[in-house]
């Protein structure tokens, strides 16, 4: 099989032929048909998300089941599947409480080596998936079967960015009709928060991004207002747009500590900041304590849009098929596995909402 390997921090990924390790009894072999390129992959390369090289990156993908181990119960050869970057085992303490986005088996699936380089070095995979490849072997609990005609390059985004963003609005914040929302950072995940807020019926959706193309795309995908933070203080601009009150929900979708604090400062009295962007693993934040208590402001963490993937993947597919959510508008470019480093360049230079490897 061919895969894009993370070999050294801040270096380019190396596309190589590698030897897959034989699947275990609960494993599934998937032929990958599309994989989105998410900023979390870049965080691994730059060291913000700790993962030792060498490893196969990619955690936002879809494909077709090629083989199943003898103990696999829910999947068959030929099934169309989306990878879940957090497994959903269905039986752990969290899964039994409808919190599969916190499934206890996350670290178990991530620890399994799935292939060898030609020098026999074992390769781990990002989040137990490793979608920057033509094949992957993963535990059954990391896969969700999907029946739809949506194209592969769209379906891939449900594996991470789309579910995380839409879920941040619908599940984590629980945006209500008429609410006001601000979104700091309008990449693949931020644009999905905007779409989630729109489908929830938010009255005002303020998109904040430094890049003009991202602000224009946000308007096309559901934002009602845009803010250029380079023009004037973003908090002041949001206050001006909300009659001095602030928004019900302010989402930080970049991963910068100061911007999480900024989101907190944009939230109205009684409102909430939702931290979706992944900060560097050594970062901390300091928030003003008075408004936390006396203005009853809340700060919510958000992993995977608090999604219950076996419920939410089909739900998102239905909303896309019904024309209520726009997945096609999120796919800026499709390219081959060999173009992976170009995809990261385009992300860093703000040229794309999402690049998808097909
Ligand atoms: P992206 O690179 O596509 O988007 C980031 C956006 O932020 C870009 O549009 C960029 O122009 C904008 N930006 C950067 N600095 C800015 C600033 N100072 N002010 C305003 N805008 C600024 O990234 P993405 O793939 O959308 O991911 C966004 C974040 O979400 C990343 O940190 C990623 O790791 C994280 N993420 C979190 C989860 C989760 O479960 N919580 C899941 C997926 C991704
Ligand atoms: Zn991701």
Same domain, 140 and 106: yes
Same domain, 171 and 141: no
3-state secondary structure of 115: strand
pLDDT band at 98 (very low <50, low <70, confident <90, very high): very high
Residue-range definition of the domain harbouring residue 212: 164-303
Same domain, 72 and 132: yes
Average pLDDT over residues 103-122: 93
Average pLDDT over residues 270-287: 97
What pLDDT sits at residue 125?
Answer: 97
Give 305-314 pLDDT, tens digit per residue: 999 999 999 9
Q: What is the DSSP string of 241-259?
A: HTTTS-EEEEEE-S--HHH
Query: Counting atoms of ligand 1 from 1, which one is nearest the CA of 49?
Result: 34
Instruction: Select which of 38, 95, 186, 302 is catalytic.
Output: 38
Helix axes 234-241, 257-266, angle to 10 degrees: 20
What pLDDT sits at residue 170?
Answer: 98
For the chain, the helix, strand and coil percentages under 3-state DSSP, each to the nearest 5: 35, 25, 40
Same domain, 21 and 138: yes
Q: From ligand 2's centre to the CA of 167, what distance in Å?
A: 13
Give 230-251 pLDDT, tens digit per residue: 999 999 999 999 999 999 999 9
- CATH code, domain with 234: 3.40.50.720
pLDDT band at 90 (very low <50, low <70, confident <90, very high): very high
Q: Which residues surround ligand 2, an ion (CB under 5 A)?
A: 38, 40, 160
Domains contained in the chain, number: 2
Average pLDDT over residues 109-114: 93
- Number of residues that make up the chain: 358
Average pLDDT over residues 9-38: 97
What pLDDT sits at residue 192?
Answer: 98
Question: Within its chain, how far is the Cα of 44 from the centroid?
Answer: 14
Work out the percent of the chain whose per-residue pLDDT is above 90.
Answer: 99
Q: Is the minimum distance from the CB of 277 to ligand 1 under 6 angstroms?
A: yes
pLDDT band at 112 (very low <50, low <70, confident <90, very high): very high
**Strand ranges for 41-163 from DSSP E:** 55-56, 61-68, 80-83, 115-116, 122-125, 135-139, 143-145
């Amino acid at each position: 099989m061919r895969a894009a390997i993370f070999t050294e921090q801040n270096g380019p990924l190396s596309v190589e032929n590698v030897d897959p390790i034989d699947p275990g009894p609960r494993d599934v072999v998937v032929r990958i048909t599309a994989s989105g390129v998410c900023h979390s992959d870049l965080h691994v390369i730059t060291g913000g998300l700790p993962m030792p090289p060498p490893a196969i990156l990619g955690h936002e993908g879809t494909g077709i089941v090629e083989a199943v181990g003898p103990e696999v119960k829910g999947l068959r050869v030929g099934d169309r599947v989306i990878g879940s970057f957090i497994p959903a085992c269905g039986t752990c303490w969290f899964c039994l409480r409808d919190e599969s986005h916190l499934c206890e088996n996350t670290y178990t699936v991530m620890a399994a080596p799935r292939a060898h380089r030609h020098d026999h070095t074992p390769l781990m995979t990002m989040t137990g998936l490793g979608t920057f490849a033509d094949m992957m072997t993963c535990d059954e609990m990391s896969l969700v079967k999907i029946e739809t005609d949506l194209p592969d390059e769209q379906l891939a985004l449900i594996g991470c960015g789309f579910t995380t963003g839409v879920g941040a609005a619908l599940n984590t914040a629980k945006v209500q009709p008429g609410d006001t929302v601000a979104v700091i950072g309008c990449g693949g995940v931020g644009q999905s928060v905007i779409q989630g807020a729109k489908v929830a019926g938010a009255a005002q959706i303020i998109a904040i991004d430094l890049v003009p193309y991202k602000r224009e795309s946000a308007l096309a995908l559901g934002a009602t207002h845009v803010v250029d933070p380079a023009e004037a203080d973003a908090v002041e601009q949001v206050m001006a747009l909300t009659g001095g009150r602030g928004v019900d929900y302010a989402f930080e979708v970049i991963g910068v500590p100061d911007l999480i604090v900024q989101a907190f400062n944009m939230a109205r009295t009684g409102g909430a900041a939702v931290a979706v962007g992944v900060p560097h693993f050594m970062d901390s934040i300091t928030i003003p304590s008075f408004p936390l208590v006396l203005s009853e402001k809340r700060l919510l963490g958000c992993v995977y849009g608090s999604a219950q993937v076996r419920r939410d993947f089909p739900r998102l597919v239905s909303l896309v098929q019904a024309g209520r959510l726009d997945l096609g508008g999120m796919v800026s470019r499709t390219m081959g596995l060999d173009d992976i480093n170009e995809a990261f360049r385009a992300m860093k230079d703000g040229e794309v909402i999402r690049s998808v490897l097909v």
